[in-house]
Amino acid sequence: MDFLQMRYCLEAAKYKNFTRAAEQCYVSQSVISVQIGKLESELGIRIFSRTQKGVAVTKEGEIFLEYARQMLALEERMKKSFRVFQNSSEGSISIGLAQCSALYMLTDLVSAYQKKFPDVELSIQEGDSSQLKEMIRNGVLDAAFLSDMLLPDDLRTYELLQDEVVLVVGKEHPLAGRESVRLEELRGHVLLFSENSSILKSLQSTQPALDAAKRGEEFFRTRITKNTHILTNISLVANGLVATLVTRNSAGKYGGKGVHVAKLEPSLSRYVYLAVSEESAKVPVVDNFIQFVLDSPHRMVGGNQENKGK
């Protein structure tokens, strides 16, 4: 039994005629008859009963044809899964987008890729960077656009941009009007952060914060907001005496007349990057996506700044 014999049977069932089936399969009628006869002998059943008008499917034949359809569909799925290793412009790729992706025009980049490679089946998952990294590690995603204060060392990463972290305060805040603020000057001030903020974690690891911790002192006080947008936090800052730290791009997009933005010294930066697992990077369609990102005019910095996971 082989796939060709199954196809002959499906065509014969469709047209209820061996001659018509032979025409569709570009073989002679005798080939169809011989191959279906061999298959019936091998299985020990009659797939077709012969009639004056042609052929009719038997009860056993209906059961066989259902299995044949499933097996041929599985064959096609198998072939499709292997085609991704042969053709970088076909196949499927799953991409994660961090919640800041629109801010950095990464959604435009994904759209441009889909327009250039319409035969690639694209699936998109949005989430925070920590969730998307786990999805890459677990094989749920092939690649993701992420934003973090540190690059992961267990994934292959391609840096796209470093976005400076800045201080945002309301007009009535004691630090308002300053062009730059040293980290030490944040001592005692209340800083507003969203839950699981990577900027907060990075700030807590700076030398002034670590020195204060060694002395058993509180370097700065925090207020945590849950499930809030950056715009919400900046609005809260504008209407109160708290401050916050965000990236310069975020401050430029969401900041308004009610806030003041100051540079931090020493500077802190947040990385925007493409992350890919080592296994996914070996698949041609994923490798093609990586090259598209690196070569695209949408890209924000030049050069292939690749960091391979250890």
Phi-psi bin for 21: left (phi > 0), alpha (psi -120 to 50), beta?
alpha
Average of per-residue pLDDT across 57-86: 83
Q: Which pLDDT band, with edges at 50, 70 and 90, does 81 fall under?
A: low
Q: In the prediction, which pLDDT does 203 show? A: 85
Of 249, 70, 44, 290, residue with least CA distance to 166: 249
pLDDT at 180 over 90: yes
Q: Which residues contact 89 (CB under 8 A, 6 or more apart)?
A: 117, 119, 120, 285, 288
pLDDT at 79 over 80: no
Q: In the prediction, which pLDDT does 45 show? A: 93
Average of per-residue pLDDT across 213-235: 81
Judge whether 250 and 100 are in contact, CB under 8 Å: yes
Encoding tokens for residue 219? 């370097």
Q: In 10 A of CB 212, how many CB atoms?
A: 16
CATH fold, domain 91-161+271-307, is D-Maltodextrin-Binding Protein; domain 2 (3.40.190)
pLDDT at 282 over 90: no
Beta-ladder partners of 122: 93
* pLDDT tens, residue by residue, 4-34: 999 999 999 999 999 999 998 899 999 999 9
Q: In the prediction, which pLDDT does 302 show? A: 36
Encoding tokens for residue 153? 């060392």
Q: Which pLDDT band, with edges at 50, 70 and 90, does 209 fall under?
A: confident
- Rounded to 5 degrees, what are φ and ψ at 272? -110, 125
34 secondary structure, DSSP code: H
How many angstroms separate the CA atoms of 298 and 282, rounded? 24
CATH architecture of 3-83: Orthogonal Bundle (1.10)
Q: Which residues contact 74 (CB under 8 A, 6 or more apart)?
A: none
How many angstroms separate the CA atoms of 179 and 138, rounded? 44
DSSP 3-state of 241:
coil
Tell me how far apart the terminal alpha carbons of the chain are, to the nearest angstrom. 48
Average of per-residue pLDDT across 71-83: 77
Q: Which residue has the higher pLDDT, 188 or 181?
A: 181
Instruction: Give the residue carrying structure tokens 């061996």.
Output: 18
Q: In the prediction, which pLDDT does 297 show? A: 66
Q: In the prediction, which pLDDT does 157 show? A: 95
Same fold, 3-83 and 91-161+271-307: no
User: For the whole prediction, is pTM greater than 0.75?
Assistant: no
Of 305, 246, 297, residue with least CA distance to 274: 305
Beta-ladder partners of 92: 121
Average of per-residue pLDDT across 284-307: 71
CATH architecture of 162-269: 3-Layer(aba) Sandwich (3.40)
* pLDDT tens, residue by residue, 132-141: 999 999 889 9
Q: In the prediction, which pLDDT does 96 show? A: 94
Of 249, 303, 291, residue with least CA distance to 271: 249
Residue 46, CA atoms < 13 Å, CB-side half-sphere = 8
Average of per-residue pLDDT across 186-213: 84
What residue segments make up the domains of the chain, in order of their start?
3-83, 91-161+271-307, 162-269
Judge whether 153 and 273 are in contact, CB under 8 Å: no
Q: In the prediction, which pLDDT does 241 show? A: 73
- Look at the alpha carbons of 104, 107, 108, 113 in this order and tell me if their dihedral is positive or negative: positive
Q: In the prediction, which pLDDT does 307 show? A: 60
Q: In the prediction, which pLDDT does 155 show? A: 95
**CA 160 vs CA 101, 151, 273, 286, 294: distances in Å:** 12, 12, 5, 17, 8
pLDDT at 124 over 80: yes
